[in-house]
Structure 1
């Protein structure tokens, strides 16, 4: 039963994961934080970790360990920020989110040299997005200005590394990981605006919903990753 549930070729895991996500969202709105939210939110990351371990094929390669470490760091971070009113726990959670994203950045590194002309549109769009968000929230950041700045920077850096996978991996893996970046950044933007600027409609649901979708897509995208022939030739030359 477990083999079927976690088999990447079948839809069972997707159904179970999103059912767990719906339960977590319902629990967030209707149940006490202790102990229920800690259980439902942990379940999501546990499912992703087990799913990854069951289906990954890298075995002892370094990229396997970077992914696994990232998932554990995100698990710790997601638990720490449940009670984000506590400043110490919020900073602690933010630190582990940053470390988790850094592990993903390392996971997505490759051997290719890139021309500035290819990076310029992405960097320009990222800069405009980052400046726009900070224009809205900077007055409310107070002592959190530097931590939040670093957090958004590492988020955009992760998106850059995900973007640079193009032509190095199969299209489906690339597209899923890029889509995950969209959902993760959208979740973070909503979180930043609702925490430091103004309340938004459905903010309590949308932050976790987009985060949960993003985490699922990035893991699924990594699991179906295949190197292109061109990338394999580059590795042979090196």
Structure 2
């Protein structure tokens, strides 16, 4: 029951600390946090197949909203993205291989959810040199921790219990979402950060 409480605190934290920015982008963050909250509430009774399926839907929708928030129109270096994508793809495929025999009817929903997580992490990774280093690092590390926590939760639900699993899952999940929210709140254009850092002595053209 601790995870929903954490989400409620983070929703309030984001509401009172958000600054400027695009209204639609802020709405995406609110919807993501609310959908995470609903998914957590549904996941409390994960032995119920219907509730488990709905929780996967809401978690996936929340990650899609965050992916929209992380997206931007600036060009990115494809060659820089490839190594990271390959590493995270290998991690995702390992999870699927490890859980394959136990997923049963949840194979397709789990595949979809894992790959949405991969997409979210890619968008977070591509924020580098678009937003400030502080914002980038908090958001990126948050998505990585979220992926780890999600993998542990999937193992607990579909495979077997883990040592101190509840604490570890709550720790990774809580820290991950906090870092993402904190990074978004401290969003600042990369060029603006450089100007402030070097006192306007650089050429941004």
Partner of 1:56: 18
Q: Give aligned pairs, total.
A: 194
SS of 1:83's equivalent in the other structure is coil
Per the normalisation by structure 1, the TM-score is 0.77
Deviations 1:52-71 (A, max 9, x none): 11110136621111111111
After superposition, the Cα gap between the structure-2 partners of 1:118 and 1:41, relative to the gap in structure 1 and judged at 3 Å, is closer
CA RMSD of aligned residues (A): 1.8
Contact 2:3/2:170 (8 A) holds in 1: no
Unaligned runs of 5+ in 1: 1-36, 232-238
Report 1 or 2 for greater relative contact order, CA contacts < 8 Å, sequence distance ≥ 6.
Answer: 2
- In structure 2, distance between residues paired with 1:206 and 1:178: 19
- In structure 1, distance between residues paired with 2:21 and 2:97: 44
- In structure 2, distance between residues paired with 1:139 and 1:227: 46
Correspondent of 1:107 among 46, 69, 86: 69
- In structure 2, distance between residues paired with 1:114 and 1:191: 32
- In structure 2, distance between residues paired with 1:162 and 1:106: 10
Following TM superposition, where does structure 1 have runs of at least 4 consecutive aligned residues deviating by more than 4 angstroms? none
SS of 1:158's equivalent in the other structure is helix
Correspondent of 1:142 among 104, 109, 117: 104
Q: Is 1:220 paired with 2:175?
A: no
Contact 1:168/1:230 (8 A) holds in 2: no
- In structure 1, distance between residues paired with 2:17 and 2:129: 23
Deviations 1:40-59 (A, max 9, x none): 44322221111111110136
Q: Is 1:78 paired with 2:40?
A: yes
Deviations 1:147-197 (A, max 9, x none): 000000001110000000000011111111111112111111111222223
Q: Is 1:159 paired with 2:121?
A: yes
Unaligned runs of 5+ in 2: 194-205
